[in-house]
Structure 1
Amino acid sequence: MTLQIQFRQKIKQFALTYLADWSILLIVGLILYGLMIGSVLPKNPNVKLHEIATTDIQSPIDTVDTQATHAKRQEAIGSTPSAYAYNKNLGLMQVEKVGDLFDTIASVKKEQKISADSDQDQINTAIKMISDRLSDSADSHLSDNTLTALLTASDHDLQIAEDIASTGIYEAMNDKVGWNDLERVQDKASASLPSSVLNDKIRRALNDVLHSYITANYSFDANATKQNKQEAARNVDNVVIHQGEVIVKKGELVTNDMIRQLKLVGLLDDHFNVIPFVGLLLFTGFIIFIFWFEYYRFKEKHPQYSVKFLYIYAIIFSGAAALIKLCSYLKLTNVTGISFLVPLAMASLMIRILLNERIAIVSGFLLSVVGSVLFGISAKAALFDSTLGIYLFFSSLAGAMVLRKRQARPKIIQTGGLIALVNVLVVLSLLMFQNTPFSPLNTGLSLGFAALSGFLSAILTNGLMPLFETGFSILSPIRLIELSNPNHPLLRKILIEAPGTYHHSLMVANLAERACEVIGANGLLARVAAYYHDVGKTKRPKFFVENQMDGVNPHDKISPQLSRTIIISHPYDGADILRQYRMPKEIIDIAEQHHGTTLIKYFYVKAQEQSDKPIDESEFRYPGPKVQTKEAAVVELADSIEAAVRAMKKPNPVKVNNLVKSIFNDRLSDGQFDECKITLKELKSVEKSIDETLRGVYHSRIEYPKDLKMKKVNTK
């Protein structure tokens, strides 16, 4: 049966520690995913071809318009001119070819002994021989009449004809000659033939030669043209439809090209795409991981915090995200700058107060990223609204850092004013970054909403903090500072009804706070708990020595057993009084535990002296419980030591030091710290701190003579 009970307890502990944590993380993740899912849901616009658009439609993504890019490249290719190459050596080459022509004619003429009197058969044979020898030349398309005229010409006329042809070709091809200009150049060269030295027959032959051998030296270059067109196509940038770019303007007629672009950016897709949903899941998981990591790190450093602080953290974080989502709909009002009204600094303020500054800063960053997504969705233009994300981050950063360590509940004017100032400066800088003309109205609205956000954050924090403190029984620094106010009814009660106890409590508070800060415990909690730890003495104040101003001790008239009952009851009477005033549990526990199970030695010894029988020591011990926290342990030590030092006659540093060590060793050997997670090293630090503080109070003073006569100084 015992094993079964232990097993159930382990299962219960596992469920409370691990399953509860993971359940909270899962819930927060689902909330964030649900708030941001609008970023991946299809936003198909209601547009039809050849109808008037009723609203602007913007691209949600950056994408390349391949069709428009291809058309632009084809246009670039078509507009690129053809490339031409100028062969300046082609004229000399053609002159050499003409020289070969005339050399061949002269050689054949000599071999065949052709003259003006030769018969036609002999001339035809010579022409065939010339054609065979010039078959490799591309420019040898001369008519038979031309070759006949040159064969039958005299050697002198043939030489003159060669010189004139060579000169004419060289001069004609000395400049750029394109195919379009070729005929004009050829005719010009023919027209320049000298008529005085040539007969008509030779002239006609030379005219044919010039037309055959004068060719274009500035011609189309296919390879260069191809390369130029390819280079022009490569230089054309991709046509990109940018995120936020207006594809369809309100009031325009929807064209086929607009429909094509809307399909390209996915606004008219009907098929389901799971990838964006997976991406959002990963994004949410990343946020939850940082959320969990920061809380786990905080919990390791502050093990006294229970799982309820994870609940609080989750509620504030999720609530802030939901608030951002709600505020994102304000954008639909089209009021300039209304997005800056989001009071996100409220979340940072509350997390700073309830947890710590680091978590508040990290949470502010995460929430600003979530906010940029939520406002990007509402804008229907981009996934992230970077401008608002930057603003939200700095606003939340101000909320996390604006409170001082010991500041009470945030003052609306002071705290809200500081956050408002940061908000206004951030918005002003963001507006300047945009490099757009300032509009007094629009700028004023933006700055006004940013300033109002700061005050709203302080107001909401003041309004919500009591709900968290009451609902979760939280002892926040603000609550502690409020409880330390001397005007608190209970403190006034102690001061009036038990003034000695009041001053004793003040001294204990000073000792305990400093000692707690030395070991990293909650010094503020120790101070406030010390103020109230002896409130039970107000029930019978005269039975405690610090309140016996008239020197009368009621214990002298009663039995040690009755005195024991009165003394032992004060921690529990105090706990009952604190519960009646709805004080925090931490303070009640310290008041109830500050004597642990210690022995009331004075009355125990007195009872033994008056009794003939041995008395059980347990009858004169406090029933406990022993101290459970470091703060309670420090208050117990500070209370015992301060009371002992107060009763000491003529205390000095040596006496105080010995007394501190004695009480410390007594409590340690008595096992009063066995149920507390305080180390021996920390106890030594507490002992040293209390001793140093008391040394400052009971330091040696100069003893002045009672009858000190002042000498008069003669100033005359």
Structure 2
Amino acid sequence: MRYALFALLIIMLYVSLAPKLLPEKYNIAVNMPSEKEILAPMQIQNTKATLKAQEEAAEAEKPVYTKISLRNEAIITEMLDQIARINQDDQVSREDKISIYRQDLPQIFQTHIQNFIMSSRNSGNYSSTFLDEVRTRINEQMYHISEETYVKLPQLTPEDIAEMKPVASDIVGRLMYDPATEAQTTRVKVAEQVSSSSLSKRISREIVQELARYVITANKFYDEDATKDAKVKARENTAPVYIKQGDVLVPKGQIITQEMYTLLKDNGLLKNEVNYWPQVGVALLSVLLAVGLYMSIRQPEASVRFKYNNSQLAMLLLIFLITLLSMHLLELLHNDRRPYLGYLAPVAVGAMLITLLLDVPLAYIASVIFSVVASIVLNIHQGQIFDFYYGLFTLVTSFVSIFSIHRASQRASILKAGVMVSFFGALLVAALIMINSSGWDQTSTLYALGFAFASGLLATIMVFGLMPFFEVTFGILSALKLVELTNPNHPLLRKLLTETPGTYHHSVMVGNLSEAAAEAIGANGLLCRVGSYYHDIGKTKRPGYFIENQNGMENPHDFIDPKLSKSIIIAHARDGVEMQKEYKLPKPIRDIAEQHHGTTFLHFFYHKALKQAEEQGVEPDFTEDDFRYPGPNAQTKEAAIVGIADSVEAAVRSLHKPTVNQVETMIEKIIKSRLDDHQFKECDLTMRELDVVGQTLKETVMGIFHSRIEYPDDVKITKNNDGKEREKDGDSPGVEQ
């Protein structure tokens, strides 16, 4: 059953989270009208628009040109050197020299360009495509030396060439420094540079000008590979185009085009497109949240009364359901136009109910789960799974509610806790708005603060309304309910006080003793106190038959048959349960009244009956089992502790002048007697806990009866008036009667 309940919790969490995390599926076809308006369930990428934007970015990318250094000044220097060598050879005629110039000068240029291309190709500095582009452009923009220049070259003397070389190299170097895609744009500057040079001879200036124009080339060329890379990077750097959450993808009645169909298909919005991974993810998240709750309950320090109670697990699931429904109800009205509405969700109601009805540590674990769910359910931001604001708001208000209400002893404490939740919730929202004020105007801020404050009050109202329902439906005894039952004006307690004041005083003392003992071992001390107040309520039917109510009157048991006395004594437990049912007291209180005696043995009346049978000379027609309480034995620690405290209080009260040793011996004897009689076999009291109970009862008795207890070690044990040490059992005639 426990596993089934946790499986139900997983389903509940899945159903709660799925609408926010899983997109709705649509049954549509191309060229058919859409039966409903299809909205973007989340921020999704528009593939077609993104591709278009990428292509536009690529087209907008300008061609890439790469500048290179051809060292053109070396070409003109080598040409002048060659001219100088040819001119120095007197064996060659002028016409032959001119012919050699026509052949050697272009060869020097082409060889230089070819060497550059080969070395660049081998080194891998430039791609083959780029080098081919360089060769092509240089050849296309080639300058042709005039015939007049070839004719003038033989006239140059070695001195002329020596003067021309540095000037020509400097001019070409300076002009080739600036990037140029067209050689002609640079060549037009040659004349000006030559005119302002230091060359004195006209022929020198004319030849340098012509040679410089010849060797000058473009030095910046179109790089196809770099251009392609730039376009690729432009595509990659283009931001995707998104359709915002809530935008209309397909209007109602719109004919579905192939483009629309593809968009819906790519984003998993078609029913015929099977993609289970989102469902698996949401299911896994739900399982993790439920397992976290389950493991916290399974911890050794978890409350024992909760760990094995499936009824309380069912109540926990119902609290989760109520809390999740409250979030979803606000989520229906919550949107990006009214972002403050989410703060109105009474998210603290779950933590408050779990604290009051179940366990404080469990409430902290549940608060963390509530905060995770709230951050998903109340999220309105596009492209986000969690909303930090609402998650933190839920966590803080839940923790504040637990801290404020975990020691609640009155219904008014719930209202005080609600005010604390409202105050700290509004304070947190104010802090968050101050940290990030974008999108918050004065009106929105006031609404957010007001709704955050109202959230705590709304949670308080819900807790007030739900507490009685849970207490009645699941038989839960909350601390508030227990405190209410201690009110002396309760009809049963008033009846006990007015009709059996001795029993009333005895019940109050038992309550003090049992509460201290229960708290010492981690049991429910308040339940023990309240159970003690009502455990002997059945004595009000025949008050005179119990010794604490006789007040010096004759004992009626001295005049009736011991079997009848036994029946009257035993009946008070059953009568008490019936009276409590009549007044609709919770079952745990009734159980204590029914189980506090267990199946203990009425020694006095049994032996009295044996004596009468012996005097009458007849065989006893009864056994020891006939003089036992019908039980059942104590089923809980609280019932067992109340039973021990009941016997201890009655035994101490029967002593005339109790001593410390007497009290200690008496408590040990009572516990050992019940232990030997197997009265604790059906509850989970351990031997160590029994030792703690005994020690605590001793200390408490010393405190309560301090003025009556004698402390000297040499005081003898007081004997009863029959000369025998009385068995300190709650049902002996000197005690229970």
TM-score range normalised by the length of the shorter chain: 0.7 to 0.9
Question: 1:415-473 CA deviation, whole Å, 9 max, x = no partner?
Answer: 22111112111221222232237533322221111111111111111111111211222
Select 1:307's aligned residue among 301, 305, 310. Answer: 310
- 2:65 partner SS: coil
Q: Which runs of 5+ in 2 are unaligned?
A: 31-35, 112-143, 711-737
Number of the residue aligned with 2:322: 319
Looking at structure 2, the residues matched to 405 and 550 of structure 1 have their Cα atoms a distance apart, in angstroms, of 44
Number of the residue aligned with 1:7: none
Structure 1 residues 277 and 619: CA distance shift in structure 2, 3 A: closer
Number of the residue aligned with 2:8: 27
Looking at structure 2, the residues matched to 97 and 229 of structure 1 have their Cα atoms a distance apart, in angstroms, of 39
Number of the residue aligned with 1:710: none
Number of the residue aligned with 2:418: 416
Number of the residue aligned with 1:184: 188
Looking at structure 1, the residues matched to 262 and 435 of structure 2 have their Cα atoms a distance apart, in angstroms, of 31
Looking at structure 1, the residues matched to 510 and 370 of structure 2 have their Cα atoms a distance apart, in angstroms, of 43
- 2:219 partner SS: strand
Give the residue type in structure 2 aligned to 1:586: P
Number of the residue aligned with 2:666: 659
Report 1:143-292 matches (<5 A). 146-151=149-154, 153=155, 157-159=156-158, 161-163=160-162, 165-166=164-165, 168-177=167-176, 178=180, 179-188=183-192, 208-213=210-215, 215-216=216-217, 219-220=219-220, 226=226, 230=230, 233=233, 237-241=237-241, 266=267, 272-275=273-276, 276-292=278-294
Give the residue type in structure 1 aligned to 2:219: S
Give the residue type in structure 2 aligned to 1:186: V
Question: 1:534-563 CA deviation, whole Å, 9 max, x = no partner?
Answer: 111111112211112244333333333332
Structural RMSD (CA): 4.1
Looking at structure 2, the residues matched to 418 and 319 of structure 1 have their Cα atoms a distance apart, in angstroms, of 22
Structure 1 residues 324 and 67: CA distance shift in structure 2, 3 A: same
Q: After superposing the two structures, state which structure 1 stretch, 260-269 or 512-521, moved more.
A: 260-269
Matched, 1:366 2:369: yes
| TM-fit CA distance, 1:529 | 0.8
Question: 1:270-324 CA deviation, whole Å, 9 max, x = no partner?
Answer: 7534232232222222233234333444896415752111111111112221222
Give the residue type in structure 2 aligned to 1:687: G
Looking at structure 1, the residues matched to 198 and 335 of structure 2 have their Cα atoms a distance apart, in angstroms, of 92
| TM-fit CA distance, 1:59 | 7.7
Aligned residues with identical type, % of pairs? 31
Matched, 1:546 2:553: no
Structure 1 residues 535 and 196: CA distance shift in structure 2, 3 A: closer
| TM-fit CA distance, 1:332 | 6.0
Whether the 8 Å contact between 2:98 and 2:153 is mirrored in structure 1 is: no
Question: 1:151-208 CA deviation, whole Å, 9 max, x = no partner?
Answer: 4x4xxx5335424543541342352344354222333356579998557xx8866654
Number of the residue aligned with 1:448: 450
Looking at structure 2, the residues matched to 44 and 383 of structure 1 have their Cα atoms a distance apart, in angstroms, of 22
Whether the 8 Å contact between 2:64 and 2:223 is mirrored in structure 1 is: no
Select 2:569's aligned residue among 555, 560, 567. Answer: 567
Matched, 1:339 2:321: no
Structure 1 residues 72 and 292: CA distance shift in structure 2, 3 A: farther
Looking at structure 2, the residues matched to 261 and 410 of structure 1 have their Cα atoms a distance apart, in angstroms, of 61
Matched, 1:100 2:82: yes
Report 1:476-491 matches (<5 A). 476-491=478-493
Number of the residue aligned with 1:669: 676
Give the residue type in structure 2 aligned to 1:599: F
| TM-fit CA distance, 1:658 | 1.7
Report 1:336-485 matches (<5 A). 337-376=340-379, 382-409=384-411, 411=413, 413-436=415-438, 439-485=441-487
Number of the residue aligned with 1:521: 523
| TM-fit CA distance, 1:34 | 2.9
Looking at structure 2, the residues matched to 639 and 303 of structure 1 have their Cα atoms a distance apart, in angstroms, of 23
Q: Which runs of 5+ in 1 are unaligned?
A: 1-19, 49-53, 116-122, 704-716
Question: 1:27-61 CA deviation, whole Å, 9 max, x = no partner?
Answer: 33333333333231338899x9xxxxx99977824
Whether the 8 Å contact between 2:500 and 2:549 is mirrored in structure 1 is: yes
Number of the residue aligned with 2:132: none
Number of the residue aligned with 2:733: none
Number of the residue aligned with 1:84: 67
Looking at structure 2, the residues matched to 427 and 511 of structure 1 have their Cα atoms a distance apart, in angstroms, of 48
Looking at structure 1, the residues matched to 210 and 454 of structure 2 have their Cα atoms a distance apart, in angstroms, of 98
TM-score, structure 1 normalization = 0.80
| TM-fit CA distance, 1:597 | 2.3
Give the residue type in structure 2 aligned to 1:22: Y
Give the residue type in structure 2 aligned to 1:274: N
Looking at structure 2, the residues matched to 633 and 193 of structure 1 have their Cα atoms a distance apart, in angstroms, of 121
Structure 1 residues 585 and 549: CA distance shift in structure 2, 3 A: same
Structure 1 residues 205 and 286: CA distance shift in structure 2, 3 A: closer
Select 1:598's aligned residue among 597, 600, 603. Answer: 600
Aligned residue pair count: 653
Give the residue type in structure 2 aligned to 1:560: P
Whether the 8 Å contact between 1:316 and 1:347 is mirrored in structure 2 is: yes
Matched, 1:60 2:42: yes
